[in-house]
Structure 1
Amino acid sequence: MAHELDITNGVASFANARSDAWHRLGTSVGHAMTAREALEAAHLANWNVRKMPLVIPQTPVITPDGVTTAPPIPVPDMFATVRDNPVVAGQVDYLGVVGTKYEPVQNEASCAVLDALTDESGAHFETAGALKGGRETFITMKLPKSMTLQGHDGSQDRTDWYIAALNSHDASSKFRLLLTNVRIVCANTQAAAIAGAKSTFGIRHTAGARVAIHEARAALGLAWRYMDAFETEAASLYAQTMDSDEMRDFATQLVKADDTSSSTTARRNRQQQASSIVKLWTSSPTIAPIAGTRWAAYNAVTEYLDHFAPVRGAATTGAAANTRALRTITPGSTVETLKVEAFRLLQTI
């Protein structure tokens, strides 16, 4: 899967507070950015995203009096979203097709929501950019607090936290706020952030979006409290050792691998799931620093569900990744339920 950054005449719509952007595209600012700096450095400012009526042009007809063309046929209740190109003055770019209820949320609104946190928390803008020809945008802020867990053997596991605002200008998704430990720099990491989001808040692109965005501040407050509570519980799991037999029993119980009421095929699939989770617990390089703990067991479950669990009907690796990402943040999904159940089991078994 390519980075999919929006590029016009060789200019990439991406800005990075650091100077180590792995794809060497966009603007590396080299310092913590303000909202205005992030918008301008990433070429996200002044897009003026708007709706334009869709019409069907008529074919010119040659008559004895010359060439005539009937007026275009309007397409009822359908519109094209367009933007002013941020690099080429006067160029208007097509972004997508939307309905009557869709209302654009400007890129400046993403910064406005995140900027409200700056004075209160000390967070700063870390990355910003556009993807897929401008159809999607992302802006991330790095939170000043990281989560550092102390292991039973004196080792440490550190997690940095980011709040990301994801927007679409083609009605492909809601305006979303994510609490994640993935720093977004391209389409690949955006998908990973969605898949690994610890807390999400979605707003539909309707007339009430502006009000809802302001209400998101309260939701972000809940996210802060969630992060504190999550850190406390995670530290407890990290402090508890776990041996291989306990891990196998946990994985078996989690996916109900020994459920005799299931068909032979279903039971075999669940046993394979349990084995895959145990294998990640013992051999995944991302879990190695926290190996042998209940926190490692939880991370093995989330890694399996986010990156390895089979996806039905996905013809390509990219399609499978996208499906996993979307189902991970769908309320009430099997993935969400299993993660919650894994956390609960590890606290009680």
Structure 2
Amino acid sequence: MTITDVNTAFADEKARQIDTARSREQAFQARIDRGEIRLVGGDQYEILTGWDRGERFTVGRNAEGQISEIIAAHGLDSRSDGTIALYASSPAWHGLGQIIPGGTADMDTVLHAGGLHFTVATVPALYRFGGELHEHSDRFHTVREDTGAALGVVGRRYEPIQNRQGFEFLQELVGRYDVVWESAGVIKGGRRVFISIRLPDTVRVDADGINDMIVPYVAVMNDHTGGGTFQCVVTPWRPVCANTERFAVRDAVTRWAVRHTAGAVDQIKEARRTLGLSIDYFEKFAAEETALARTDIAVADFHQVIADLWPLEDDATDAKKTNFAARLGAIDGIFRTETERVGRTAYAAERAITGYLDHVAPRRPGKSMTEEIARATAALEGADDDTKAKAHKRLMLLTRA
């Protein structure tokens, strides 16, 4: 029989915990020293490099001041109790939010869990001149009525579309298709909110081959800044953080939008008819993507597609030649990764080109923007839609060769 000295075992375990904590602290400090992250204020840090550049996270510490947890916010807002303003029917990759396993069909539950149950009002815009406060007759601020936080500046014709008003039309689809609310969340302090449901049918690309599954979702985004619209999109992405909310707009296959003016809520009800046409699109989409997945592509042909998308003149400057080579190298790298998953096909080529545009292509941020925000703005505005469409049409020609 083996006899264990509990005091020795406790001391050994405590020593291991201290070594682990010390290693974590050292690794964290090393990232700061290398310029990969920086302290923003309090216990919040910002990532400065890599794919997560621009993301912020909170460092939790125990009573001894050692790092106990690292919580990423992913652009999502916090609720009054400190939890992340996100509802989801299943855990997202980042593990954040209020998870209701299997989801719920109750809209009020979703609005509260996701932090979307606030309303928005407009108040006069004021300015100080000559030591006195004046009112700007044609400008107003949108503010959250629960916190008083300012969200944007709008004109006289602007009328807020309240979150519940805008999302109610989806409740009928939830009941009709016997589906649940998939996700809902708040971004940038309430400036943007989103909610989504999953459509009942699943679309498969090359079912007998790579069998890539496409799940269509209806996502609705509401903007309270005055600079955006209320919009519905049908998309193969489930919005569970700021990034995937941007992907939802980028990959929209059916889109409907309305500005915040009188009568907008009545117009939103018409979106139900538009969304009903989406399933037909997904059938065509799956057929074309399957054709791409079953078409082998030579590297030379792939490079020719890239050359067609980004032509390089014979008399191009050295700088342009360098940029072309860098772009080609980046897309080639993504293509090699995709070919490991789906083979050296036109489908892999399309994934490589769209992946480059969405995640790698350089962006020139404005004075008040980071590169991450500039990239997000480009995705929201569909800056690369024409290039993606051209790439798809060009690759589809190979399927008929």
Q: TM-score range by the shorter chain?
A: 0.7 to 0.9
Question: Which residue number corresponds to residue 139 of structure 2?
Answer: 78
Question: Which residue number corresponds to residue 104 of structure 1?
Answer: 160
Q: Does the 8 Å CA contact 2:246/2:379 hold for their aligned counterparts? A: no
Question: Which residue number corresponds to residue 295 of structure 1?
Answer: 347
Residue identity opposite 2:397 in structure 1:
T
Q: Using the alignment, how far apart are the partners of 2:360 and 2:198 within structure 1?
A: 28
Q: After the TM superposition, which residues 58-77 of structure 1 pair with which residues of structure 2 at under 5 Å, given as runs?
A: 72-77=133-138
- Name the SS of the counterpart of 2:276 in structure 1: helix
**82, 103, 109: which one pairs with 1:37?**
109
Residue identity opposite 2:103 in structure 1:
A
RMSD: 2.9
Residue identity opposite 1:14 in structure 2:
L
Deviation at 1:53, TM superposition (A): 1.6
Q: Using the alignment, how far apart are the partners of 1:22 and 1:348 within structure 2?
A: 37
Question: Which residue number corresponds to residue 199 of structure 2?
Answer: 143
State whether structure 2 residue 394 is matched by structure 1 residue 342. no
Deviations 1:261-301, CA, capped at 9 Å, x for gaps: 755544553444334323211125xx632131111111111
- Structure 1 228/55 Cα, relative in aligned 2: closer, same or farther at 3 Å? same
Q: Using the alignment, how far apart are the partners of 2:254 and 2:321 within structure 1?
A: 32
Q: Using the alignment, how far apart are the partners of 1:220 and 1:109 within structure 2?
A: 18
**TM-score, length-normalised on structure 2?**
0.72
Deviation at 1:24, TM superposition (A): 4.4
Deviations 1:157-177, CA, capped at 9 Å, x for gaps: 122222211112122321122
Question: Which residue number corresponds to residue 190 of structure 2?
Answer: 134
Residue identity opposite 2:88 in structure 1:
N
- Structure 1 201/324 Cα, relative in aligned 2: closer, same or farther at 3 Å? farther
- Structure 1 120/95 Cα, relative in aligned 2: closer, same or farther at 3 Å? same
Aligned length: 325
Question: Which residue number corresponds to residue 375 of structure 2?
Answer: 324
- Structure 1 277/25 Cα, relative in aligned 2: closer, same or farther at 3 Å? closer
Q: Structure 1 stretch 322-331 or stretch 30-39: which is displaced more?
A: 322-331
Q: Does the 8 Å CA contact 1:145/1:160 hold for their aligned counterparts? A: yes
Deviation at 1:59, TM superposition (A): 9.6
Deviation at 1:302, TM superposition (A): 0.7
State whether structure 2 residue 275 is matched by structure 1 residue 214. no
Q: Does the 8 Å CA contact 1:281/1:291 hold for their aligned counterparts? A: no
- Structure 1 273/222 Cα, relative in aligned 2: closer, same or farther at 3 Å? farther
Deviation at 1:74, TM superposition (A): 1.5
Q: Using the alignment, how far apart are the partners of 1:132 and 1:212 within structure 2?
A: 26
Deviations 1:98-134, CA, capped at 9 Å, x for gaps: 2212211111133223224334444431111112222
Q: Using the alignment, how far apart are the partners of 1:159 and 1:293 within structure 2?
A: 18
State whether structure 2 residue 143 is matched by structure 1 residue 54. no
Residue identity opposite 1:84 in structure 2:
E
**99, 102, 108: which one pairs with 1:28?**
99
Question: Which residue number corresponds to residue 282 of structure 1?
Answer: 336
Q: Using the alignment, how far apart are the partners of 2:332 and 2:92 within structure 1?
A: 34
State whether structure 2 residue 326 is matched by structure 1 residue 269. no
Q: Does the 8 Å CA contact 1:14/1:127 hold for their aligned counterparts? A: yes
- Structure 1 297/199 Cα, relative in aligned 2: closer, same or farther at 3 Å? farther
Q: Using the alignment, how far apart are the partners of 2:136 and 2:127 within structure 1?
A: 7
- Structure 1 94/312 Cα, relative in aligned 2: closer, same or farther at 3 Å? closer
Question: Which residue number corresponds to residue 304 of structure 2?
Answer: 249
Deviation at 1:308, TM superposition (A): 0.9
Q: List gaps (5 residues or longer) in structure 2.
A: 1-54, 57-73
**TM-score, length-normalised on structure 1?**
0.82
- The answer to which structure, 1 or 2, has the higher relative contact order (CA under 8 A, 6+ apart) is 1
- Structure 1 145/151 Cα, relative in aligned 2: closer, same or farther at 3 Å? closer
Q: Structure 1 stretch 183-192 or stretch 264-273: which is displaced more?
A: 264-273
